[in-house]
Each structure stands twice: as C-alpha cells, then as structure tokens.
Amino acid sequence: MVLCNVSTCHRYWTWKGHQIRYQRSGDQGTPLLLVHGFGGNADHWRKNTPELAKSGHRAFAIDLLGYGYSDKPDPKAAPPNSIYNFENFGDQLVDFIKERIGSEPTFVICNSVGGLAGLQASIVAPELVKGVQCIDISLRGLHVKRQPAWQRPFVAAFQRFLRETDAGKAFFGNVATERTVGNILRQAYGRKEAVTPELVQAILAPGLRPGAVDVFLDFISYSGGPLPEELMAATTRPVSILWGEADPWENVHEGRRLFAPLPSVVEFVSLPGVGHCPQDEAPELVNPLIERFVAAY
C-alpha cells in the first residue's frame, strides 16, 4: 500500500512476516535512511525528508519493528529482549537497504537509540552503508556496564517488576497521554516552541496502538547488548556526530569524551540551544549538516 501527500509517500514493506511502515521523498540522488529514537517513528523526520529530497537525495524514513505504524510482535512470546534489540534493528536496516534501496550504498542518519541500530548495520554490511550520522546518540545509561555492581540486581528486579506485572501497564497508561507526552518532549527539547500539538500527536498516536505497551516495557528492560562506543570502535565506516548542547538526557560533554577520539568519528558538531531531537527542533541547522556529511563521503 502506498499513500502520498504533496512531498512524501507512506509505504509498507514486509520484513520477516511483519509489516514495516516507511516514508520516501525524492526519486533520484544518493539514498539516505533516517532512523528514529526510542518512542519515535518516521514522522519525527517530517521536517527533513522533503527538504533532503529537494536538495537532490532519495530520503527514506523507517519505523523500526515495534514502533510507529510497524507491526508489534509480542515480546512475551520470546525470551526478554530477544526481539527488540540492536542486532535485530541493524538487520532490519540492512535488509531494507537490500530490498527497498536496491543494495545501493546508503547513508544512515539516526537519532538517539536509532544510532546504535545504524552503527550495527554498518558493521553487519559495511558495503551497504556509506556512513553513519548519529544525532544525540543514546549513551545507554542503564546498561549493565554503566551501573555500579551493587545497583545491578536492584535495577534488574525493578525492570522485571514493570515488565511482568500490571504495574508496568499502569505506568505506561500514565505516560501515554497528551499532557505527559507534551511535558516529556518539552523537557527533552531545548527549543520549547518546537513542541506543537502536531508533534505530540505524531508521537502519541502510534503509541496507543495494540501491542505498543509490551514493546515499551520490553525495551526499557534492555540493559544488555552493545554500548555506542563499542560499535563506533568496531565500524569501518565514517561516523558524523551531531549533539544538542541543551540535551538533558544525553550529556554533550560525556559524548565528546567517549566518541571524539575514536578513529571512525570524522566530526563532532555541537548545536547550542538545541536538545535531544535536533532534526525536529532545528531542521534549518541539521539538514545542511546532513548534506555536508553526504557530500564529503
């Protein structure tokens, strides 16, 4: 199925038996694959895909499995974190490049946890990924390697409590409201005026779909898998890093300390006054930086 408006087409792709929603703008030029963060979806790139197409690129934005309007297989039907993890998300991106972009080498542009999926794809299939641009990549503060040893059993027990009892669904029910989503976004964004009713609905509406609560609870219990610095050290592709200086969740100074010295990192650009989602808060800054990175590599 294909639905198009003036600048963007919304399409569905079948991956491993699941329906995956994606968007496309542009019919020619270098392909770009835009990957959202936790709780996001392809609509978080609505200020980017049309503009990147106008500048001569084919811009694709995808809903990761479990997010947005993609299918949400039940994580309780499998071991915890065995469906929603960065290895599977990386495979999804690689297969999308193969099947929807015709195996043409692609730049992967990512926000937050999407950055780990993009880096994973660049390691699995470096011949298909020309470069990865990470925008406020998640530092994974709840990863077991980030936690003091004494804290790990308590964090794991609380994660199990949320995932396996009704308390988790009650917690999600309190979060999944217009008021709370708006408050969370205003906390995350440096530019508060960018938090509009349109944005709140773009984030909230798919989160109310069947299965979304179970995906949410499974992923917030995901404290294993790779750390971002491990993936950046392992990739052979150039990595560009953009970071909102006003991000309250992922500290720009810690990001620079961890990532700037790595051989794969070709630039670390900080953005004053911008928070966790610069592509949506400040597209007039981010779109040219995407184009500059693509032109350079």
Per residue in 142-199, pLDDT tens?
999 999 999 999 999 999 999 999 999 999 999 999 999 999 999 999 999 999 999 9
Give the per-residue pLDDT at 9: 65
**Alpha-carbon span 256 to 259, nearest angstrom:** 5
Q: The tokens of 161 are what?
A: 């409590």
Give the per-residue pLDDT at 5: 57
φ/ψ (deg, to 5) at 56: 100, 25
Length of the chain: 297
Q: Which of 168, 118, 114, 113 is nearest to 141 (CA)?
A: 113
Average pLDDT, the chain: 96
Per residue in 244-277, pLDDT tens?
999 999 999 999 999 999 999 999 999 999 999 9
Per-residue pLDDT band at 8 (split at 50, 70, 90)? low
In this predicted structure, the answer to whether residue 10 has a pLDDT above a threshold of 90 is: no
Per residue in 22-69, pLDDT tens?
999 999 999 999 999 999 999 999 999 999 999 999 999 999 999 999
Instruction: Map 159-219 to HEC letters.
Output: HHHHHHCHHHHHHHHHHCCHHHHHHHHHHHCCCHHHCCHHHHHHHHHHHCCCCHHHHHHHH
**Alpha-carbon span 240 to 78, nearest angstrom:** 35
DSSP class of residue 109 equals E
Mean pLDDT for the stretch of residues 128-140: 98
Q: The tokens of 245 are what?
A: 């200086």
**Alpha-carbon span 213 to 225, nearest angstrom:** 21
